[in-house]
Structure 1
């Protein structure tokens, strides 16, 4: 299925009448953070390309428009701009606009200001002070001087007619501007990043105080809205297929679909032989007994492991597992259709960051690693996608899971890659090496929960290396495998830093793994960040 066809099929069930803040993306690395901050205010928002068609925006109840930052210079040929039709829509409806960094420069450029390169670039923390005599609503409940994060080379040299400066720094006299008559505001800094401590206050002032958005974006309402809409879409006799891994995304999606249509949702768990220790049986028990999901498990472990024999290239591993998963899933889908009747829909656990990759001004990012997901199912299956989570970030999925009454341990599970332990075994994947890694992984997770660190970590796992080292056990020489523990802290998984696990926890973990897992005699701790490393090793 091509990207264009995927986007066409995967259009959400969404309610066009739901008020929203529209964020127009100019290619900033921080655009997704603007969306997260607005959602944290319990205000619904969506991210669009800055070149979105005005007719698309016109379908929605727009509470406000936020223009993101971007890497270009507004005065250069080929730089991205909002279309005249979109500007007309905004002005005709008197929609409040907030331009951030490039977004402010776009406001200035369009309405007659002057943007040029600054004498020096400005990156990092900067103190912003209010212009004397200006009492902007943007800065309500904020001190006269406050820290914000700068990241720009160009700056505003002259404000457009009707605008006035309300904030400045030592390097620039126009870092915050406003035009009350046209309801437009601009900021040269980034209130959305964590290095702007009062950024959330400023965004609240714009979104809620100025734009008048109602902070009513709550997960229980979202769940009920989805349930009602999917019942109408699928009908009283329709069936839905879905692949379930047991991770938080697929669990929440499966519970939502079950609440909507009951046993007419057919979930399939494919055991590829590279799951965590006792994972298949644990997921079956939890999903069936605790969540009431109609789930069947297919043990295809021998099939997968046979195909992985001799394979060491990580991309080849991913493609083998992804392709075989599709084959197995299609076989099971055919069985379900014979037993229960035609299925026209496929449940997929796409999250909003995946959607952002497709609608960003810059387009899909370069492939760092092939991602394994159900989105790769062939068009021959002729299924329409239903994606209940495609408007949500990971933290919102967890919030929704808690609202649905899913147990805490399931909601807070760390992400687990589709290829499973196969990409955490560097080199060839064998049943013996899988068993070794399963045991080490289980001990690592147990110790993180026992020591109270699991919830603070974004993702944690053990990697089995293609390296052996000499050791001493029971006065005898050993020559066994080396393993590495990887724990990272992150909020969006786009950047991450290694988690500073206390030495005593590392020590206990190391002692237990080396003593209890036959085949490992040395344990290392990965202290690299993302970037330059990725979170997974393969």
Structure 2
């Protein structure tokens, strides 16, 4: 069976699961926040999934969604070639909510008007409610909502009414109550929209009449059934990294198929100090899940020798991962399946979503490849199994807790698959790896000592491939700088830099400069995501 055929079967299986559960569909028009909408809906314990705006009405009928949300997007609805959804969607008979671009598209396709506004609106705005019923039930008048638009609705389609406005936007929310069509010019999904979650709950529960069936227990039961159905009596090889994703997957697979699972940890040489040894001991001795340890440090480093481009790094590391697994599986195997802890954000940031089949242009922009998504070779010898592929990080943590994963792993901060190789900008060398490992250890020690480890989404060090002049003991130095990157986030899709104390930063800086050979300067990254990403590469 070819990989393509197996992936088709996997999609068919997932589609069947879709048919058996209530769901809200998000049609993506290129917004970087489409997946955030999905996450907000799942917070209400209702399943949601993001699909291309090209999804046809017939495909939607087969999925039988309880409601549809049209995302925002970077285009203007009146632009030549702007993305449009199937016109027949408005007659599906299910509630539809348009967000920003989605609202403007709804207005345009139903006969209303949209034009560029004289007053663009970006950032926080007070929502002034004209109709406090239905979509805006229990949304406080004057609450803050997050705006990001340069176009505005000039006149409504027939049957629509005004629900709310702002100082600069006369039509901030509209509705056709009879047809259950709603539009908002703001972004209720972002954390800055104070009344956003209340609005989403109104749409999901009161308008779409969903029930809270998307629970951790329901996911675990469904995942185990699907794993057993797909795997049968075959053997599975798990790429174990020690993070919460692959560890949760190890526990889930072990519960589903027991000794048919073999965990393999490949030490690619880019882990943090002492982590490989601790990981193998933890799983083998404490969890009683055997782990095959493979030392492949030299071959991975050779693969990226002289490489400075981050995409090339990720893809070469991804390719080498698979090659090592193929070689080692022939020694331990045979295996039919390769299991990976791929998550929804990994897929989203790696995917060339919504590629126009005519022009090849992307509506949504690929941010970066992930080693277990964008770096897989086309001649992959395994059939992939990725049970966590539709989950966000916070959902994985809940699953991990529910199946007995220890808190020390459940709360482990995210660590990239390529490891320190993408926290060293430019070329990766043994010397630079040693420097970064020592600096990273100090960061983790001091964050733990300050009691902040579980409060921060991520806290780590980055090594820059430049040198600056310093002075130590009356001697001139010419050494590398370390960048400290501490961020707060709920899901990794957006993040803000953390306002930790100056005393903590001073302690970390002093220790790194004094204890780590080759470092004479420490700086702090105060960039949020967006515009930056959490990792530097």
Aligned to 2:159: 162
Q: Does the Cα contact within 8 Å between 1:19 and 1:60 map onto a contact in 2?
A: no
CA–CA distance in structure 2, aligned partners of residues 49 and 294 of structure 1: 41
Q: Which moved more, 1:57-66 or 1:192-201?
A: 57-66
Following superposition, the deviation at residue 532 of structure 1 comes to 4.8
Distance change >3 Å, CA 381–CA 48, structure 1 → 2: closer
Match for residue 202 of structure 1? 199
Q: Please state how far the C-alpha of 1:160 moved relative to its aligned partner.
A: 1.9
Q: What SS does structure 2 have at the residue aligned with 1:353?
A: helix
2:20 corresponds to which of 14, 17, 36: 17
1:267-278 alignment, distance < 5 Å: 267-278=263-274
Q: SS at 2:26's partner residue?
A: strand
Q: Aligned partners of 2:149, 2:7: CA distance in 1, in Å?
A: 33
Q: Is the 8 A contact 2:315 2:374 kept in 1?
A: no
Question: Which stretches in structure 2 are left out of the alignment for 5+ residues?
Answer: 356-361
Q: Measure the CA separation in 2 of the matches of 1:202 and 1:74.
A: 24
**Matching residue of 1:335:** 331
Q: Secondary structure at the match of 1:346?
A: strand
Query: For each residue in 1:456-499, what CA deviation from the matched residue of structure 2 results, as whole angstroms up to 9, or x when unmatched?
Result: 222222233442654435x8776655433222233344444432
Distance 1:6 1:513 in 2: 49
Preserved CA contact (<8 Å) 2:113 2:155: yes
The 1-side partners of 2:175 and 2:53 are apart by 21
Partner of 1:501: 500
Q: 2-side partners of 1:59 and 1:388: how far apart?
A: 23
Contact 2:269 2:298 in 1 (8 A): yes
Cα displacement (A) at 1:22: 0.8
Query: In the superposition, relative to structure 1, how do residues 314 and 98 fare at CA in structure 2: closer, same or farther (>3 Å)?
Result: closer
1:286 Cα offset (Å)? 2.4
**How far does the alpha carbon of each residue in 1:69-90 deviate from its partner, in whole angstroms, 9 at most, with x for none?**
22223334422222134444x2
1:276 Cα shift? 0.8
Counterpart position of 2:136:
139
Q: Which residue of 1 aligns with 2:190?
A: 193
Matched, 1:153 2:153: no
Name the structure 1 match of 2:359. Answer: none
SS at match of 1:455: coil
What is the CA–CA distance in structure 2 between the aligned matches of 1:328 and 1:510, rounded to whole Å? 38
- TM-score, structure 2 length as denominator? 0.88
1:172–1:444 distance in 2 versus 1, CA, 3 Å:
closer
Corresponding position of 1:103 = 102
Aligned residues, how many? Answer: 525
Q: Which of 63, 67, 72 is residue 66 of structure 2 equivalent to?
A: 63
Equivalence for 1:326: 322
Q: Give, in whole Å, the separation in 2 of the partners of 1:272 and 1:429.
A: 13
Query: Are positions 1:354 and 2:346 aligned together?
Result: yes
* Structure 1: runs of 5 or more not aligned: none
> What do the CA deviations read for 1:116-150 (whole angstroms, capped 9, x no partner)?
3333322222222222xx45222222334333222
* Distance in 1 separating the partners of 2:300 and 2:407: 32
1:25-62 Cα offsets, whole Å, 9 max, x none, are 12223222211211111111111111112333222231
Name the CA shift for 1:166/1:282 in 2 (closer, same or farther; >3 Å). same
Q: 1:80 aligns with which of 73, 79, 83?
A: 83
Give a deviation string over 1:143-163, Cα, whole Å, max 9, x none.
343332222222222222222
* Alpha carbons 1:104, 1:188 under 8 Å: kept: yes
Moved more, 237-246 or 6-15: 6-15
CA RMSD, aligned part only?
2.9
Cα distance, 1:523 vs structure 2? 3.2
Look up the SS of the partner of 2:11 in the other structure: coil
Please, what TM-score do these two structures have when normalized by structure 1?
0.88
CA pair 71-226 structure 1, distance change in 2 beyond 3 A: same
